[in-house]
Homo-oligomer: A and B are copies of this chain.
Amino acid sequence: MDIATLVGLILAIVGIIGGNVLEGGNPAALINLPGFMIVILGSLGATMISQPLDRMIGLPKTLISAFLGAKGHDEPATVDLFVTMADKARREGLLALEADVDKIHDEFTRKGVQLMIDGTDPELLRQIMEIDAESTKHRAEGGAQVLEFMGGIAPTIGVLGAVLGLMGVMTHLTEPEKIGPGIATAFVATFYGVFTANVLWLPLAKKLTNNMKHEQHSLNLVIEGLMSIQSGDNPRIVREKLEGFLAPGQRQSKKGDAEGAGAKEAA
């Protein structure tokens, strides 16, 4: 559960609506069916034109995943897993890893380890894993693209709503008392367009892109780990290499030198 998405949304709404109330605005003025129809249906429709049908159908799922957060990858644990496997592989051979395959929860890692045990050629193994990672990225980008397009188009659809509203106002220009409220109504469409784009679609698209990048980072760690074990690197080198993927605070090699030294001797 990615609490930042929810907290951020609440914070933004409290700030914007709260600030409006504080300056004497009436939030009820923000509820306006014609504006809603123009901006929400309009930008949804335009986005639907731009995207394959299955991505539009997957939109609710995409939104939920933006709130639930990135698929959990415990990177330090993955590093430990690869160091342990490297150790075992050097002592007992790659086939000895067969017993541990079922204990690997992450599907991508399991697939890679299985292929490695089956004696797949290193270059081929890298290719297979990279095609898979690339495909995952491709799908994740698709979801982000829907929201990005909607975020790019919503403010201009809001302007469209404002123009339509102002056109209505202009025909009553000789009746000054009708102008003010009319313009207010016209502004609601602008509000909807700017609000949905900048508080919903664009931040959510960015979150999905950030999650995707984070996942790719983890997948690269797995691929490098597989390559390292397969080329027979000693466990200390595997750790040294893979910990490059971790934040400095997550690295173990500095703290516990004992294990590193032990691995060194074993080599």
> What residues make up the interface of A, taking CB atoms closer than 8 Å to B?
2-5, 7-16, 18-20, 22-25, 29, 33-42, 44-53, 56, 70, 115, 118, 120, 124, 127-128, 131-132, 134-135, 138-139, 145, 149, 153, 155-157, 159-161, 163-168, 170-174, 176-177, 179-181, 183-185, 187-188, 190-191, 194-195, 197-200, 202-204, 206-207, 210-211, 214, 217, 224, 233, 237, 240-241, 244-247, 264
A6 nearest CB neighbor, chain B only: B49
Q: Given A14-B41, A16-B38, A170-B187, list of 6 further CB < 8 A pairs?
A: A15-B44, A16-B37, A50-B207, A52-B70, A153-B203, A170-B184
Shortest distance between the CB of A152 and any CB in chain B (Å): 8
Chain B neighbourhood of A52, CB < 8 A: 2, 4, 70, 210-211, 214
Shortest distance between the CB of A84 and any CB in chain B (Å): 19
Asked whether B13 lies within 8 Å of A45 as measured between CB atoms, the reply is: yes
| Listed A/B pairs (21) with beta-carbon separation below 8 Å | A4-B51, A5-B49, A8-B49, A9-B49, A11-B41, A11-B45, A12-B44, A15-B44, A15-B45, A16-B37, A19-B35, A19-B36, A22-B37, A25-B167, A118-B264, A153-B198, A156-B194, A157-B198, A170-B183, A173-B176, A174-B177
Shortest distance between the CB of A158 and any CB in chain B (Å): 9
Measured in the bound complex, the distance between the Cα atoms of B142 and A45 in whole Å is: 25
Shortest distance between the CB of A184 and any CB in chain B (Å): 4
